[in-house]
Each structure stands twice: as C-alpha cells, then as structure tokens.
Amino acid sequence: MARLPEFDALRDQARDLKNHILEHLDLYLEVFERNVTANGGTVHWCRTAEDARRTILEICQQKEAKTVTKGKSMVSEEIALNDYLEANGVRPVETDLGEYILQLRHDHPSHIVAPAIHLTLEDVSEAFHQAHQRPKTSDPAALMREAREMLRKQFVAADVGITGANFLIAETGSTIICTNEGNGDLTQTLPKTHIVVSSIEKVVPTLEDMTLFLRLLARSATGQEFTVYNTLSSGPRRPGDQDGPEDYHVVLVDNGRSDMIASEMREMLRCIRCSACMNHCPVYGAVGGHSYGWVYPGPMGSVLTPQMVGLDKAGLLPNASTFCGKCEEVCPVRIPLPKLMRHWREREFEQHLSPASVRGGLGVWAFFAKRPALYRLLTASGSRVLRLLGGKRGRLAKLPLAGGWTDHRDLPTPSGTTFMQQWQAQQKREHRS
Amino acid sequence: MSRAEIFNRIRTGLKVGADDSARRAAVEARLNARARNLIPQRAQLPAEELVQLFLNMAREAAAEVIEIERREQLAAAVEHYLQAQGVGQLVSSDEELIVALQWSHDNGIVHERRPARAGDEASLTGSFAGIAETGTLLLYSGAERPTTLNFLPDTHIVALRASTIVGPYEDAWQQLRQATGGQMPRTVNLITGPSRSADIEQRLQMGAHGPRNLVIVLMHDE
C-alpha cells in the first residue's frame, strides 16, 4: 500500500467504471464482437453452461482434437467443461501447476487463484509419484521441474488450447490472460486452435480502462506489483507469422449473469475474481474452500453460488458469515458483499426456504426480544442454570436438542451472569470509585 | 439464438427504451477518447529517473539486468552471459537489431533464427518498450517476432533500448497504437520477471512453464 498510495482512489475509479460498463453492457459487447470478427476470430454466445460445453466440444470435434491443453479458467470450472470433454472422447490437460495437481488427484479447486491451497507438499509428492512413476521427492523445486518436463510434451502435442480471460477489450477485440507461470501462453500459442472461454461481464472499453483493473488485480490477488505475464490475444495468426494459432474462438458464457442486471445482485457483476475477499475472510480461513460446495468459495462465492445454482440449494452459504466486513473492506471494486449476503438471507426467509427449526427459533427469539424485561429474566436464569450444569469443568458434553453441536465438541458454559448484568455491575463499580 | 436472448435479457434488465442514442453516444465517446484513468505518481518521473525506476522494479521482479553503453556491445554481452551459464545454443528473432549482430563464432555457441521449440536453451529478442512503473517489458508478435521465443526456452534474453522506457503502461499503449497504425498485433506480451508459481504449499518457486531466467540487456545509447 505504501508503494501505491493511490490504491483507494483507484478502487473508486474501478467501481465507477464497472458501473458504467454494466449500464452499457450490451453496447460494449457488440463492439467487442465486431472487433474480434474484424481480427479474424469468432465469438460464440452461450446462454447456459450446457450451450457453452456443447459449443466448445463442437469446435474440438471439427478439429478432430484428441488432446486439449487448458490454462486456468474458473468459467470452465463453472460450466464443468473437463468432465464433459472427457465423456466425449477429448482429453483435457490442465497446465496451471495447481490445476494439474488437482487433475491428477481427481480433485477440485478450493481457491480461485491458488486452486491447490488445501494440499500439502506430501499430497503433491504422492500424486506425482503415482502419476509419473518416478522416485518420490519432497523438494518443491524438483516437483515443479517434474511438472514442467511432463507438461512440455502435452503443450506440444495438443490440438486445441483453451484459456480463460481476465478481461475482454472492446476497443481492440482482444482478450487478456494474467498468469505467473506462462502456462496460459504456451496453451494458446502452440496448438492450431485457441479457444477463449469467458463471461459477458468481463468486457472493458479500452486498453486504458483495462490498465486500471490490472493495477488493482495483481495487488489484490497475490500482493505482487504486477503479474508476470499479462498477454493480450487478438485473433489468429497474421500473414507472415511463424507461430500462433490458426483459429481463434471466443466463447462468451452468460449462465445467469444477464438475470443479475435487473436485481440487487448487479453489483456482484463488478467482481474481477481477484480472491482478496476469501484471502481475508475468517470463515474461509477456518473452513477452507471445499466447504462452500461449488466452484466459487469465500464471500464472493456465498453471493454468486445462490444465484447460479439456486437459493434452495445454496441458502446456507450467505448464512455462514460473521459479517465482519473484511471482504468489503478489501474488495478492489468495492462490492458490498455483506449487504448482498444479507439480501440472500432475506430472500431465503421470504421464500420459506429456511428450515422450520430456524424459523421457529427466530420466532421465539423475536417474541422475547420485543419484551426486554422477560428477555433479561430468561437469559439471566438460563445462564445460571447452564453454569450450574457445567460444574467445575465449565463445559457441557451433552445438551438436549443440540446433539449436532455436542456430538463433535463440548459447549463451553456461560459465566453465570449475562452481559447486561456484568455491564451494570461494572458501571456501579466505576461510579463508586 | 443464444445471442439474441442474452442481448434481450441485458436490455430488459437495463430497461433500455426504444431510443438508446444517449447510451450509444456515451459508449462511442469513451471508446474514442481513450481517456487515461488515475496514473500513480510513481510512474510520472522525469525521463532520466525512469531508467533507474525500471531497473529497480525489474530486478525486484527477479529479472537479471546487464547494462551496456553501446549497441555494438550487445553480441558480446549476450555471448558472455551464455558462456558464463554454460549455454551452447541460442535461437533468435528476425528483428533488424538482432539480424545485424556480429557473433564471434569461435566459442561453439550454435545460433539459429526461428520460432522456439521444446528443449531450446536460450532465446534472444528485442522489445518494443520498457514500462518503469513495474519493470515490465512490452513485446508484440509479427512476422519477424515469433511469440514462442518469449516462452519456450529456459532463458529469455531481451534487448531493450533505454530510449523506449516509459513511465506508465498508458504511454506504451499510445506508442503501440502509433507504431501499428491502430491495428492491434495478434499477441502483445507484458512480461515482468521470469516464470514462477506458488502452487505447492504457497512456497514461491521460480521457473514454472515459461523461462526460468529473464535477462534484460539495456542499451544506454539507443
């Protein structure tokens, strides 16, 4: 932060620019499409995940592709591309080191920037030993050399390369990927066909506007001043070019995003997938990315997942938050994540999706909360009773109606007095002295 | 089918009326103006300080920098580096600057000009600009500049003219538009240091899939 004192001012500009883009999203997408076409590429519009999977498979089949290398792409995770390609006879090979490790283990990302953050060195060592049939090593540098060597053959052999895109630039019809490894570059430069899979909200007007986001992205994602490789792609090989892809496709996925424009969720479309919110989230830190159950973890996942897979299936996510506000505080495009989570909680209650016990419990609590004298009496006596039950240990191993909690841990007992009682006692003490 | 549906949903969501001329005008204005957003103070230095900032930032990103006074020293500087590293092979681009180099030929280094292949030890290319703000190199593709040279070899050596070092990225975009007549090259590479990954237990390792070493030869007279 000391090296970029303008960080907060940049965040304000980024928020305002994203809002401007979303207000004119259809028009910027039209310009982007026109310029991709002028560059000799093709844009494919996909309303659903199914449309996107099928479109990508068709391109692969037209090219009679057997092996496809992949750069890291969360949209491809979102549309579950790998399983689909594999089921249809096309072998996808993940080339980002983290994603490669996960693919060997038939595992899924637990973080959107550092996908294998949940694995230990030993896990990686074992996975490589199994897959490569080489002597086992626990030296991270040696493991990376091994992956480099193994993947080099795949890069060269692949028929199609699939990458994501961090931004789509309307002015030039370019897509940009930001990577530290250089895997995305080999993925898109060596095969004959390059497919970019991305989503409609990633469009930005000009190179200058893209630059605003690049200044924020690396800093928010990994704390770097700049990502090692920021690569703009604008179509297939030009006359005279000695390398590069012969075909260039951009597959643009909607998958529920256009529905967010009219709703309170529009602000979530500002997200640039930097991962700052999960990096700073105490809940994410405690439970890890897989606990979120779908592709996007952390606070941004708690807001996006109910939108994309349904509130009835993902309603628990916006509830699993302490509302400490750290996510909003660090977001480079100032998305009010706690507000959006609260919005889902309200929708859940309105639609009667929360379990009867929760609704009942809230009803009981509301009854007493509206009657302060009764509330205080009950909490004071409850606290004393629990205190007595806990005895000298100060914890309860079993509690009626709360087996779900006490099966796995003890419940620490309250101190015997309530907060209000302690507050009043302290006020009296201070008054006396 | 999907296209019309997506656009309809967006326009309905935005409540776009029959007349969206004001919106179209706003979009056109933004695209034509190419206005700069906030540029950090750090990138707005006098020309003589930009070179030093570039060197500091590039070294911080783990690039190796060799400074030479004159362009004529380039071939010797490259060969000296390769010999010191025990590298016996160099693939280069067809750029004028590179083609004109006088190699010594008595040190056993094999020189070729072609796109890179898996297994190549080192490559040599020019560059279009250096961006001082983050020590970043800007390279772009073309008939004389195969992109694979920037990514496949173990070591990538880049010749950089001191006069092409700019402060912020925005200056580089402006110059790129001028140099290419507004037609965006197929590939534009912004490169800041050598390849790396922290995907194994968040421990940073250099040399993931791209070059393990990035060597910048800065020519002060150019």
User: Rounded mean pLDDT of B7-21?
Assistant: 93
Instruction: Report the pLDDT value the prediction gives residue A1, as an integer from 0 to 100.
Output: 63
Instruction: Report the pLDDT value the prediction gives residue A410, as an integer from 0 to 100.
Output: 79
Residue of chain B whose Cα is closest to the Cα of A218: B134
**Are residues A141 and A16 located together in one domain of the fold?**
yes
**Are residues A311 and A363 located together in one domain of the fold?**
no
Tell me what the pLDDT averaged over chain A comes to.
93
pLDDT band at B19 (very low <50, low <70, confident <90, very high): confident
**Are residues B106 and B200 located together in one domain of the fold?**
yes
Q: Minimal Cα–Cα distance from B193 to chain A, Å?
A: 6
- Measured CA to CA, the distance from residue B151 to residue B207 in angstroms comes to 11
**Are residues A218 and A90 located together in one domain of the fold?**
yes
CB–CB contact A47 B194 (8 Å): no
**Are residues B165 and B128 located together in one domain of the fold?**
yes
pLDDT of A112 above 90:
yes
pLDDT of B126 above 80:
yes
**Are residues B105 and B212 located together in one domain of the fold?**
yes
Which of B1, B192, B208 minimises the CB distance to A144?
A: B208
**Are residues A245 and A342 located together in one domain of the fold?**
no
Instruction: Report the pLDDT value the prediction gives residue A24, as an integer from 0 to 100.
Output: 98
**Are residues B102 and B203 located together in one domain of the fold?**
yes
CB–CB contact B200 A144 (8 Å): yes
CB–CB contact A243 B200 (8 Å): no
Instruction: Report the pLDDT value the prediction gives residue A395, as an integer from 0 to 100.
Output: 80
CB–CB contact A261 B9 (8 Å): yes
**Are residues B59 and B30 located together in one domain of the fold?**
no
Q: B9: which chain A residues are within 8 Å (Cβ-Cβ)? A: 254, 258-259, 261
Instruction: Report the pLDDT value the prediction gives residue A398, as an integer from 0 to 100.
Output: 76
Domain with residue A279: its CATH number is: 1.10.1060.10
**Are residues B25 and B130 located together in one domain of the fold?**
no
**Are residues A50 and A149 located together in one domain of the fold?**
yes
CB–CB contact B34 A171 (8 Å): yes
What HEC string does chain A produce?
Answer: CCCCCCHHHHHHHHHHHHHHHHHCHHHHHHHHHHHHHHCCCEEEEECCHHHHHHHHHHHHHHCCCCEEEECCCHHHHHCCHHHHHHHCCCEEEECCHHHHHHHHCCCCCCCCCCCCCCCCHHHHHHHHHHHHCCCCCCCHHHHHHHHHHHHHHHHHHCCEEEECCCEEECCCCEEEEEECCCHHHHHHHCCCEEEEEEEHHHEECCHHHHHHHHHHHHHHHCCCCCCCEEEEECCCCCCCCCCCCCEEEEEEECCCHHHHCCCHHHHHHHCCCCCHHHHCCHHHHHHCHHHHCCCCCHHHHHHHHHHHHCHHHHCCHHHCCCCCCHHHHHCCCCCCHHHHHHHHHHHHHHCCCCCHHHHHHHHHHHHHHCCHHHHHHHHHHHHHHHHHHHHHHCEECCCCCCHHHHCCCCEECCCCCCHHHHHHHHHHHHHHC
Residue predicted with more confidence, A356 or A292: A292
| A103 part of a folded domain | yes
A305: CB partners within 8 A, 6+ apart: A292, A293, A294, A295, A296, A314, A317
**Are residues A136 and A280 located together in one domain of the fold?**
no
pLDDT of A243 above 80:
yes
B173: CB partners within 8 A, 6+ apart: A207, A208, A211, B34
Q: A198: which chain B residues are within 8 Å (Cβ-Cβ)? A: none
- Measured CA to CA, the distance from residue B120 to residue B105 in angstroms comes to 19
pLDDT band at A330 (very low <50, low <70, confident <90, very high): very high
Give pLDDT tens digits for A348-404.
Answer: 989 888 878 888 888 888 888 898 888 888 888 888 888 888 777 778 777 777 767
Query: In whole angstroms, how large is the CA radius of gyration of chain B?
Result: 21
Q: How many domains does chain B have?
A: 2
| A225 part of a folded domain | yes
Host domain of residue A414: 356-432
pLDDT band at A301 (very low <50, low <70, confident <90, very high): very high
**Are residues A374 and A309 located together in one domain of the fold?**
no
Domain boundary among A204, A233, A255: A255
**Are residues B28 and B79 located together in one domain of the fold?**
no
pLDDT of A409 above 80:
no
A301: CB partners within 8 A, 6+ apart: A278, A292, A294, A295, A317
Residue predicted with more confidence, A419 or B173: B173
**Are residues B21 and B88 located together in one domain of the fold?**
no
pLDDT of B103 above 90:
yes
**Which residue of B15, B41, B184, B204 to mutate against A (max A Cβ within 10 Å)?**
B184
User: Rounded mean pLDDT of A15-36?
Assistant: 98
Domain with residue B188: its CATH number is: 3.40.50.10420
Q: B148: which chain A residues are within 8 Å (Cβ-Cβ)? A: 189-190, 243
ipTM above 0.95, yes or no: yes
Domain boundary among A294, A318, A350: A350
CB–CB contact A242 B143 (8 Å): yes
Q: B41: which chain A residues are within 8 Å (Cβ-Cβ)? A: 5-6
**Are residues A149 and A93 located together in one domain of the fold?**
yes
User: Rounded mean pLDDT of A211-226?
Assistant: 95
User: Rounded mean pLDDT of B34-46?
Assistant: 96
CB–CB contact B2 A183 (8 Å): no
**Are residues B69 and B11 located together in one domain of the fold?**
no
Please tell me if residue A236 touches chain B, with a CB cutoff of 8 Å: yes
Instruction: Report the pLDDT value the prediction gives residue A365, as an integer from 0 to 100.
Output: 85
CB–CB contact B192 A3 (8 Å): no
**Are residues B12 and B106 located together in one domain of the fold?**
no
**Are residues A171 and A59 located together in one domain of the fold?**
yes
pLDDT of B10 above 90:
yes
Q: How many domains does chain A have?
A: 3
Domain boundary among A305, A333, A350: A350
| A209 part of a folded domain | yes
Q: B14: which chain A residues are within 8 Å (Cβ-Cβ)? A: 23, 25-26, 261-262
Host domain of residue B78: 43-219
**Are residues A130 and A13 located together in one domain of the fold?**
yes
pLDDT band at A95 (very low <50, low <70, confident <90, very high): very high
**Are residues A360 and A346 located together in one domain of the fold?**
no
**Which residue of B5, B12, B37 to mutate against A (max A Cβ within 10 Å)?**
B37
User: Poorest-confidence range of A69-78, A92-101, A386-395, B53-62?
Assistant: A386-395
**Are residues A309 and A176 located together in one domain of the fold?**
no
| A2 part of a folded domain | no
Domain with residue A84: its CATH number is: 3.40.50.10420
User: Rounded mean pLDDT of B55-76?
Assistant: 97
Q: B172: which chain A residues are within 8 Å (Cβ-Cβ)? A: none
